[in-house]
Structures are given as structure tokens and as C-alpha cells.
Amino acid sequence: MKILTAFGMLLLSSWVSPKITREARGQLKPLNTFSHAAHKTLRNSEQYLEAVQNRFTFLENYAPPQEKYLQQPESFNADTNSAAKTTWMSAHDREVLYWLNVARLNPSGFFNRFLLKAAQANPSNSYLSSLMKTMYSMKPVPALIPDKSLYDAAMCHARSSGISGYVGHTRNNTQCKKIYTGECCSYGADSPLDVVIQLLVDEGVTSLGHRILCLGEGFTIAGIASAPHTRFRTNTVIDFR
């Protein structure tokens, strides 16, 4: 009798175990999916942060030429200085747009003046060499015009990111609108010229997404806003449309 009971329990166990296993796997499946998604998000965040650090490091090792005319943006044409009379932008952000327009309107001239020496001194830097090829071969693209709605959206994100130390494009502040077609975020670049150089070189960003946006001919307006950042001193957001 004991043998039969034991045999019966064994049969019951062999019948129940697969069912329990299937149910357990079914319950674990969403957890595994969430776990994989979390790991992927973490990897992407780490890669983005590493790219930001690479761009930050590039600026620390790069010294732009100190020329007198750098303090005189008005020496260029009106298109280049399209934000000169825009009162709702800071002087810093107006100058970021100014240098960005210089790069768009005279790409080879911009590279020769500000980046050629660095490229010659670092021939193994693929980001500098590819930027040189791009800016030497591309045709000039129209100057960007400042836009108030894009500026407000960029400023909201710059301030929110700066306070929390956030790095990226996600609007963690629900008050910040996402109305742009393309967006660049610069970190740790103190001067307006450094902001543009950092985004054009795009050190550590394999897609060169910031460079593509900055030199893209499909954009006509932009909002540029800067704010202090708890991790990288400062951050500048450029929203394109």
C-alpha cells in the first residue's frame, strides 16, 4: 500500500510539475521582458553619457584661437548675425546661433580657421578628419532664424536638465514641450564658439547626429538656450525645425 501511495504521488508529481513550470514561466516572462528592457535602457544611457564625456574631454584639450575679431560678430553679414536684435535671447545664446550660422554659410572657412590646426595635430582623430571632409565638400546652407516658441522649449529643457543633472533629450519635466524636429544638447562648453565646435566634431557619437543636425539644410529656424548644469557646469539646448 505504501508502495502504491508513493507510486501515486510520483505520478501526481510528474503530472503537476510541468503545469506549475509553465505557469511559473508565464509569470516570469513579463519580468524577463522588463529586465531586458531595463538593461537595454541602462546600456543606452551609459553610452550616451560616455559620448557626452568624450565631447567634454575634447573641449578640455582644445584651445580655440584667441583672435580679436572673435569679439566682433557684427563683422559678418546680417544673415550670419540673424539673432542680433532678438531681445529674448541672452548674448551668449545669440552668439551660439551666430557661430552656427558662420559654419553653415562658410563651412570650409570655419573649419580652416578653427579646426584645421587641431586636425593636423591629431591626424588619427577620425571625428576631425571626417568633419574636414564634410565641411570641405558641402555646399553652404541657409542661416537659421531664431524662433521664440523653440527658444522657450529649449530653455525649459536646459533649466530642467541643469537642476537635476540630467543628460539626454527626454522631457522629465512635464512643463517642457517637445515641439522640435531635431535637437542638440551640449554639455560643459562655456563659450558660444565651443558649443558649436563640440557639436560639429561630435566626439564619441558614432552616428554624428549633432553634426548632421547643425549642418542640415532642411532646417530654417532654431531655438537656443543655455543654463547652469550641476554635473557639467553648463548645458546648451538647440531645437531645430
**What is the Rg, in whole angstroms, of the alpha carbon atoms belonging to the chain?**
26
pLDDT in tens, the chain (241 residues): 555 555 555 444 555 556 655 666 666 566 566 556 555 555 666 777 887 888 878 877 776 655 544 444 444 466 788 998 899 999 999 999 999 999 999 999 999 999 999 999 999 999 999 999 999 999 999 999 999 999 999 999 999 999 999 999 999 999 999 999 999 999 999 899 999 999 999 999 999 999 999 999 999 999 999 999 999 999 999 999 9
The pLDDT assigned to 111 comes to 95
Backbone angle region of 90, left / alpha / beta, with phi > 0 → left and psi within -120 to 50 → alpha? beta
The pLDDT assigned to 62 comes to 78
The pLDDT assigned to 63 comes to 62
pTM equals 0.77
Pairing of strands 221-229, 233-240: antiparallel
The pLDDT assigned to 163 comes to 97
Which CATH superfamily does the domain covering 51-240 fall into?
CAP (3.40.33.10)
The pLDDT assigned to 37 comes to 58
How many whole angstroms separate alpha carbon 63 and alpha carbon 65? 6
Collect all residues with Cβ–Cβ distance below 8 Å to 11 and sequence separation of at least 6: none
How many whole angstroms separate alpha carbon 172 and alpha carbon 152? 16
